[in-house]
Structure 1
Amino acid sequence: MNQLIISAATEGAAEANPLVPNVWEMGVVLVGFAVLMYIVVKFVVPMFEKTFAERAEAIEGGIAKAEAAQAEASAALEEYKQQLTDARAEANRIREEARAEGAQILADLKAKAAAESARITEQAHAAIESERQAAVVSLRSEVGTLATTLAGRIVGEALTDDQRAARVVDRFLADLETQSAGAAK
């Protein structure tokens, strides 16, 4: 096939072959192509490379920012979890302190109630003893008066002397106490 093209080119120098290009046309096309390549290499390619570099840098920066944000979010989550754990521990501690304080207050109130009860009981015993003593004194005087009156009737003389009457009453009461003590044994 090459043979045909070469033979056609040599034979028909006078006649133009449409398959073989003209040398001047090829030269102009080659020079135009070289100028176009120079412009593309000198101006267009650096602009594309600059744009690609900026995009790559922006993408890598975005990825780095996203990774940093994710790391920050993870750290914040861990901090939140730690704070939540600390808050729960603090709440448990406060709850236990409140229970202990409540138990202490309850124990104090029980102790105060027991002390108050003992004090009231002691006052009641003292009041009862005081009333008993008052009743004994009152009964002694009534018994003394009755004994003096009865003794005066039995003896046949009036016991108007207070000292004598007091001695008679005391002796009578002492005899009664010894008799009641002897009967109790």
Structure 2
Amino acid sequence: MTWLLAAEEGAEPNPLVPHTVEIILGLVVFGILFFIVQKYVAPRFEKAFADRTAAIEGGMKQAEEAQAEAKAALEQYQQQLSEARHEASRIREEAREQGAAIIVELREQAQAESQRIVGQAHAQIEAERQQAMNQLRTEIGTLSTQLASRIVGESLEDEARQRRVVERFLAELEEQAPEGAGTR
């Protein structure tokens, strides 16, 4: 209060105490400035903050979506890789089975071919044996006829007679031969 009294007495004004007009004018200017800031500047700041927040949240959302897509792509890749491995395993197993089947088939073919060759060889041997037996019979017949002609002293040139003599001689030989010796 002493400062009010000092102002009334005409004493020199205190430099620390502002004038009333300055206070009123300062309040009016402050009110106008507050109104302008409130009306124009604050909404722009809030809009800028909202835009920035939306951009950040949008970026985070996009990052999450990209991460989810990457995770889905990785899972799909792993699934495809697993399917490819299973497919490769299945193909290898089929190839093994086919190889085994081919080997079995080739063995069967080889056995059939060897049996055919052995059968042909037996047939050929049997045919050659029969041919040799026939030749042998013919030669034995001729020799025995010549021998008998010399022994008997008469000619056995009659072919029918020769055949009968030879067949009788061979039949006697076969009877005398031990069993199984004549056949093979």
Q: How far apart, CA to CA, are the structure 2 residues paired with 1:56 and 1:24?
A: 44
Q: Give me the CA root mean square deviation.
A: 1.7
Q: Deviations over 1:26-60 (max 9, x none)?
A: 22222111111111111110000000000000100
Residue in 1 that maps onto 2:129: 132
Runs (5+) with no aligned partner, structure 1: none
How far is 1:8 from its partner? 3.2
Aligned partner of residue 18 in structure 1, secondary structure: coil
How far is 1:182 from its partner? 6.8
The two structures have a TM-score, normalised by structure 2, of 0.92
2:19 corresponds to 1:22: yes
CA contact (8 A) 1:9 1:20 kept: no
Q: 1:66 aligns with which of 40, 47, 63?
A: 63
CA contact (8 A) 2:6 2:13 kept: no
CA contact (8 A) 2:3 2:14 kept: no
2:100 corresponds to 1:103: yes
2:110 corresponds to 1:120: no
Residue in 2 that maps onto 1:54: 51
Residue in 1 that maps onto 2:154: 157
The one-letter code matched in structure 2 to 1:176 is L
Aligned partner of residue 181 in structure 1, secondary structure: coil
Please identify runs of 4+ aligned residues in structure 1 that moved more than 6 A.
none
How far is 1:10 from its partner? 3.6
The number of equivalent residue pairs is: 181
Residue in 2 that maps onto 1:172: 169
Q: How far apart, CA to CA, are the structure 1 residues paired with 2:179 and 2:49?
A: 130
Residue in 1 that maps onto 2:42: 45
Percent identity of the aligned residues? Answer: 58
Q: How far apart, CA to CA, are the structure 2 residues paired with 1:169 and 1:105?
A: 58
The two structures have a TM-score, normalised by structure 1, of 0.92
How far is 1:90 from its partner? 1.0
Q: How far apart, CA to CA, are the structure 2 residues paired with 1:100 and 1:126?
A: 38
Q: How far apart, CA to CA, are the structure 2 residues paired with 1:26 and 1:34?
A: 12
Q: How far apart, CA to CA, are the structure 2 residues paired with 1:167 and 1:10?
A: 189
CA contact (8 A) 2:145 2:156 kept: yes
